[in-house]
């Protein structure tokens, strides 16, 4: 398993070229093998730096107003394999090795529903029951 990890100095150099709009960049996590989009979230500078130096995806939770490591509760970590930065520097695509499922609702991808003939249809099977994984007194991961 090859995980992308940078030195703090190199991570800071990458963060310098990013455009944090209102303090955030958009982070898209996708399966490194299939390129299936797993989730979309926000990162502040701290989340970007932690992700780049640890090789594990970190995000900023706007609702909880805190940094979080994907998998800190569920153990469904995302290991960074590659990073793409868009032309404006305000969006990143992370190719990740997904451990378990990405979606806090128990699906491999947060994009488990699709519009078919005008109706929302579930197209993925649930991999786990959230109530058995998450502490229900805390907001979803």
pLDDT at 136: 61
CA distance 74 to 88: 33
**Contact, 96 vs 78, CB < 8 A?**
yes
Mean pLDDT, range 127-138, rounded to an integer: 79
Given a cut of 60, whether residue 139 has pLDDT beyond it is no
Mean pLDDT, range 98-102, rounded to an integer: 97
Given a cut of 70, whether residue 140 has pLDDT beyond it is no
Mean pLDDT, range 117-141, rounded to an integer: 82
- Give the CATH class of 8-104: alpha beta
Instruction: List, as one string, the DSSP characters of 61-121.
Output: ETTTTEEEETTTTT---EEEEEEEE-TTSSEEEEEEEE-S-S-TTS-SSS--EEEETTEEE
Domain spans of the chain? Answer: 8-104
This prediction's pTM: 0.91
Average pLDDT, the chain: 94
- Each residue of 41-59: pLDDT tens digit? 999 999 999 999 999 999 9
């Amino acid at each position: 398993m090859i995980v992308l990890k940078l030195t703090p100095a190199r991570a800071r150099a990458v963060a310098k070229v990013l455009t944090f709009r209102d303090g955030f960049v958009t982070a898209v996590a996708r399966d490194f093998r299939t390129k299936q989009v797993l989730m979309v979230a926000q990162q502040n500078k701290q989340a970007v730096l932690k992700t780049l130096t640890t090789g594990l995806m970190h995000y900023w939770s706007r609702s909880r107003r805190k940094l979080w490591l994907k998998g800190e509760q569920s153990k469904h970590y995302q290991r960074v394999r590659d990073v793409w930065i868009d032309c404006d520097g305000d969006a990143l695509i992370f190719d990740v090795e997904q451990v378990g499922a990405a979606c806090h609702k128990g699906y491999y991808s947060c994009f488990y529903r699709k519009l078919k003939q005008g109706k929302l249809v579930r197209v993925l099977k649930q991999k786990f029951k959230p109530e058995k994984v998450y502490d229900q007194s805390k907001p979803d991961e």
